[in-house]
Structure 1
Amino acid sequence: MSSYEATYSMHSAISLLNQNEDGSEVVGDVCYGDWRWPPGCRDCDYRISWNYLDDSDEIEFSIETRAPSNWWTGVGFSPSGTMVEADMIVVKSRNGELSLHDMYSTGYGVPREDSEQNVYTPTVIGTHVNGVLRAQFTRKRDTGDRKADHHFSETDSTSSCETEFRYPAGCDGAACDYIAKWEYSMTRKDVKFEISSRELGRWTGIGFSRDGQMANSDIYTGWVFEGKAYVTDRFAYGRQLPAIDPADRQDIYEISGKADDDVQTIAFRRKVLPADTITDFPLNKCYYFLFPIGGGRVLARKSQDFQNARTPIGYHDLYQPKVSRTKICICDQNGISIASEDGPPAVRKRRQASESAKPRSVRQLQDPFEVQIDPFGGINKEDRSMDCIDVVIGSVIDEVSQIRDYYSFSGASPQLDEFYGGQNSLTSSAAYRENGITTVVFRKPLQASDKADRSILRGPTTVIWAKGVEASKSVSVTDKSAVQVDILHNDLSH
């Protein structure tokens, strides 16, 4: 793999953004926008501007960035703010010759070339001389490519009002393997969910995720046996099978079901604002919906086990679950989102770039888990104990938990492992706050598999405990201690 292929997920996949606390901002009105890095720069490391062409319904981009020879730059658009499902326009420079590429990234590997190339330049792509790469290109606001291109609209394209999901897409009736429908009741302040899937004797369901990942997602699974539905309220703490919520936190009711030929249908209702605020998400916000196509086996040893909703279930063994391409908002009968905060506005006063489509290095400064909390605030910067360490940071903010795998290269703020070319190595995690105490639980392999992790070996290991402070405050804290322990022998609780 060449050097510039290996750096796709780490360097210049800069995305458009609105405004950052560090001062960087989008400048422009409905027709024009401009973003620069560093903020307020004149001689910038990276600058992108865009102009909307009303006559042709196209967007014209211009990029100028500092880049060595045989490099690449570009812009990306992502519903989640990560490289997962990111629509990218890449300019490659080989020996001074520029080429333009419409690409798509499914994860943190090298993006793939789109089968449909929907980006072009009316003249020359640009130049790459004296360490400065300049390029210009144009694409339709809506290219029509639903597989690999995100489109820009008058409303926020990072969330949408939907009422159902079908698989395969556009299927009807018996041709569908899976159908999920949901309907909001204004009078009852609840939502009715109805899920149909093929193959009796298997579980089906639906889930809600804040980031499109399985970990920390609100899950509902069930099946039909002899005309009766058995449905449970669950929570996925990590990548393992979702755990059943305690009996006093099962917030679903009016459970029903039926079976027609080889298609089973389960239905249930759930309040928009559940009594369980620990593992059930409020539905007045927008989430990525998880659709377990094909479900999995119900691990029943005898027929009576199918009549127990708490009977263990197996992993997905037919298909990978589908994740909605954008966040979905529950809407009322008039198509208006009931989301209290992050629903798509009915009217936009200006075109704004997606908040989640910002560069990782900048987005970390504004993410509620990474900006409002400085995980290592108050620690003496001259203390070199933060050099080259494996870090796990957990937080619970407004009853939303987040646990992530970081690496600290120096005294600077830790970065996500992906920033250094690694990956999230946590196999499961959970966090909750009770009586003013935040508890974080996680699992990770003993043997490191990438350069952004440290192996846990027998013998003395330095473990650093640190408590973050609000980034907006300047306080002196001493909530950091380092201890030498043998993790594979000692009990860390003391």
Structure 2
Amino acid sequence: MYDFDFLDNVRTRSPCGMPENATGTGIFKTKLITGSKISITWHMAFPHGGGFRIQILHGNGTILHELTPTNNTNPWYSISNSTIQSYLATLPSGFTCDHCIIRLTRNAKEWSTPSGPYIFWSCADVEVNNFQCNQLNCYHGGSIASNCNSASAVCSCPNNQFSGDRCQYMNECETYADCNNNGLCVTINQDYYYPLKQCFCSAGFYGYKCSKTSNLTVVMPNDVSSYSYTKLDNSSEIWYKILSATNEVEVIHKTLSTSWVGLGWRPQGLKASCQFFPPGAAPCLISGPESAVGEGGNQPEGNSESTSKPEGGAESTAQPEGNAGSTAQPEGNAESTAKPEGEGGSSESGGAAGNLVTHAMDCTDMVIGSARGNMFRLFDYYSRDRSTPRMDSYFGGEDSITAAVGSESNGYTTLRWRKQLTAEGTTDHTIQDEVLDVIYAYGQKYPYSHQFPSGLHNSHRLTNYYNDDELKYHGYQNRGRKSLNFFGDSKLVTNTCSGSWKTGCTGNSCSNNLQWNIYNDGTVHFTMSAVTDKWIGLGISNDHKMAKTDAIVGWVGKVAPVITDRYISSYAPPPVDAVSNVNLLEGSKLNGTTTLKFYRPINTSDSQDISLHGCHYFIFAIGGQYTDSNFAISKHASTPFITSRKICIDVNQCSKSYSPLGIDIMTSTPCSGSWGTRCLNGQCASNLRWNVYNDGTVHFQMSADTDKWLAMGISVDKKMPSSDAIVGWISQGTAKLRDRFLKGYFIPAVDAITNVDLINGSLINGITTLNFKRAMNTSDSQNDVSLHGCHYFFLGTGGSYDDNNLDIGVHPQTPAVAKIPMCLYASRCTQFSPPGTGAAGTIFTLIHLVIAVLSVLISSIF
């Protein structure tokens, strides 16, 4: 058996979570004497509350005997002390078996649900009989004397690196000489987590027992300008570069920690079938649990305890006084919610094999190391699932580290290493010029961070359960995940008043793009695009974490592009801000690529906006579903990208950077007015003019630089829903105009009753102009807004149109909205009679234009 330490009753089959002979080298059975006392030991990476249970099972999984005290109300032992890791059991008198199983199960009480307990299990194959002591088996080359005493049979071990009554425990070293005189033998672990003593190497040496020579001897070079840099979190950072000449990657990993430090990676888009490794272990992966925790049930935060493993045995079988295996895993999810991502009740195998891997640790190549002063140890690891990562050699692979050095100073552990880019086996992933899923973690100490209460609460081991460099659970805080290309973040370009950032790159081809320009009007204009039909989002963060991040999320829906202003206060999908300070300019979905153009003021009065002034990390995320009707969004589908350095914005340095949007020019009196949008040098992108006449009508002229449809809206609250709309276009020299009503954020239908009269229209030199009139008040109270009083006007342009059924397409740009309401009062306009409406067509008289100038308002579009 493989002694993985995350074998549970949700993802693996009863009775043990691991098939017999999983290694393919035969079933190794430990021989035990009938009625004898056996000391059963195990290691725990995470002390779940709930107690443990030890049983003897038949080879087919049937329970034969309970070795721990149990009763009908509670089958679990030692509930009050969750840190116990040994138990002296007595085998039943007269009981024999040729092949039975000793099984340890632990109850993760904090993760149980009403549908059943959440348990971890670990097994050992044994043979129980009336053996003579000289018939018992020893491990690691140990032997037992022919004149032994059956009451206290003890094996003689080949050297002092092995211990235990069957030589089942093995240390890496006992003296300096065991480390090839190239390092120190340091006592690290406790609680039966062997090897308790390990070699820490001097600079210039690395590997098992410091047996390899390293050409890296300096931990942190004076000049790191040739490296790319990524801040992982406030305590951990990496520098990295590709050594093309030797086909290697070099990484410097510095962390504020005196415990172990790990970094891992895997290709994006990896399938869950990667967990069918090792092949012999795959048959015990299931799609449903034995004592099923419900689909929505909480799942364990960290890993539990390992299966017991006879050191040096061909497969995993729990030994009397045997080792339970290894430890905590970097859970790897920085955006985890109350239920760690991927830890739902569904299986990671079986029918899910064609799906993507669900957890950050699944099928991940890793490098894990630790340091004491100027001495260090570092190895190539593989993480199959949420079990503790194991050295590549455990799976029959090769350690592909080519050089390493490390140190611990002033509370910081720094590891520098090189590794071959090309994978040499299943336990390695090739590093190519593409974005990888990257995880990191480092060991925790008291005060520890557990997401939910564990067995350590009120324990006598409260302060010393997690010791330096013990590869146990890292805690909820000391881990995270990134999307990273080890070939560098050269695709991040920053200038004084502009910048660009490309992510999701394979070579020079990038699927995601962000561009920004800073203008002297106090705004930043963004263009973001991604190869997706889901939502896309930009985050602005002070510390590159998702919490307390300003977010701008948008998509191109069925009707129109959408942009929303949000604030991320936790790890849940963020709600839309009560006040939006983001303005959509344009949106499109073309050839599978969603593109959104928008702008935001550098400073706003909204406490849920982060000022863009100064330096911040940018975050690029891709959804995730969206709902057009209520702007709800689901979680991002992949790990968001985060800039490797902060992006700095200072509008004071951009005084000569002029906004392309221009200004709005507005004139208004009770009887007339005009409004030009996005005006530059006297030329406006669109125009609206109006006159109020004594016959109770308002005459309008709207024009824009477009050959698509053109529309004006009338709203009481600046919002699209419940707005009156008048939409028209010029087709083959003929003007078309229709009265419509906006009931929501979708294309408005034509009113059953039309209260708009077309006067004339033209399309000249690309400018569409429509002249029309409408009564101040109409009898259509359902679909017409009264023009009397004060209203906000909209101006929008399409969008395609259909002459036959009068359908219109979505507007590619956000309609302009007047910043102030326009107030019309027919009672004040009794002296103005409507003009003639002949072929000459103008409806605006000179006197109205003169009166209009009496009140001129020039305001920024912002």
Q: Normalized against structure 2, the TM-score is what?
A: 0.23
Higher relative contact order (CA 8 A, sep 6+): 1
Q: Normalized against structure 1, the TM-score is what?
A: 0.37
* Structure of greater Rg: 2
